[in-house]
Amino acid sequence: MKVPVVKSILAANDQIAQENRQLFDEKGVMAVNIMASPGAGKTSLILRTIERLRDKARIGVIEGDVASSIDADRIAQEGVPVVQINTGGGCHLDANMLRAALPSLNLDELDILFIENVGNLICPANFRLGAHIQAMLASIPEGDDKPYKYPGMYQGVDALVVNKIDLLPYVRFDMERFRKGVAALNPDVAIFEVSCVTGKGVQDWAEWLMQKKDTLLRRG
Ligand code: MG
Ligand code: ZN
């Protein structure tokens, strides 16, 4: 009996996700769902991306965390509109939580909405939010075996950002092995090697996002 129950929850979630997407399309907002393990640097990546894009696009952020508003406070310091979702123990965001947060942002005044998912490499992949872009953030200290261990996360994403490349000299991480694992799961994914400490590689990722936004807006 367990399987049908789980399926119906996911179907209800997908319905709401579709409604979220419709709203984003109406408002001309590109939504980017950022998923990663805890500590990979999701908030740092968002901050670095804001630095690069704030003159080119109006950016908003939704922060998903189990508890606290530490990350949202960091974003707010930049003067960027941000809403915190506390899942109260929940290990992922779902479409309904996102829907509940959206009225707190003025979507008419945004071009890009970053949604920082709860740090977790398992279930965020199963819960669609309605975002246009699914982005996965990996980091060097996590190890090069993660695509092999968490294939679900790597399979469905449009972009893969590999953060903390400044640590490559100090950590055992075989980029070739990592990329081979990714290619087997998701050969078309756009990969960006970045360091949110030095800023290296962030520009390529930011430009890729802008291209995606322009394509989406032209289509819509
Ligand atoms: Mg964070
Ligand atoms: Zn979960």
pLDDT at 60 over 80: yes
Q: What is the pLDDT of residue 194?
A: 98
Ligand nearest 91 Cα, by number? 2
Q: What is the pLDDT of residue 129?
A: 98
CA of 217 to the centre of ligand 1 (A): 28
For residues 95 and 9, the model is more confident at 95
Residue 213 confidence class, pLDDT cut points 50, 70, 90? very high
Q: Give the C-alpha separation, 6 to 122, whole Å.
A: 15
Ligand nearest 65 Cα, by number? 1
Residue 1 confidence class, pLDDT cut points 50, 70, 90? low
User: Sign of the C-alpha dihedral, residues 205, 208, 209, 210?
Assistant: positive
CA of 126 to the centre of ligand 2 (A): 9
Ligand nearest 94 Cα, by number? 2
What's the whole-number average pLDDT of the chain?
Answer: 95
Q: How many other C-beta atoms can be found within 10 angstroms of the C-beta atom of residue 61?
A: 29
Q: Where are the domains of the chain?
A: 28-219
Give the CA distances from residue 218 to residues 25, 30, 100, 109, in Å, rounded to whole numbers and listed in that order: 11, 12, 28, 18
CA of 122 to the centre of ligand 2 (A): 7
28-219 CATH: 3.40.50.300
CA of 206 to the centre of ligand 1 (A): 18
CA of 116 to the centre of ligand 1 (A): 7
pLDDT at 212 over 80: yes
CA of 174 to the centre of ligand 1 (A): 26
Q: Are 150 and 120 in contact (CB under 8 A)?
A: no
CA of 187 to the centre of ligand 1 (A): 28
Q: What is the pLDDT of residue 220?
A: 55
| CB proximity list for 73: less than 8 A, separation 6 or greater | none
Angle at alpha carbon of residue 113, lines to 50 and 76, rounded to 5°: 55
- Range of weakest confidence among 138-142, 166-170, 213-217: 213-217
DSSP H stretches of helix in 102-149: 146-149
pLDDT at 202 over 60: yes
Strand partners, 134: 33
pTM assigned to the model: 0.95
Interval 133-152 mean pLDDT: 97
DSSP H stretches of helix in 107-174: 146-149, 151-155
pLDDT, tens only, 70-129: 999 999 999 999 999 999 999 999 999 999 999 999 999 999 999 999 999 999 999 999
| CB proximity list for 109: less than 8 A, separation 6 or greater | 58, 81
Ligand nearest 71 Cα, by number? 1
CA of 85 to the centre of ligand 1 (A): 12
E-strand stretches of the chain: 30-36, 59-65, 82-86, 112-116, 133-139, 159-163, 190-193
CA of 155 to the centre of ligand 2 (A): 17
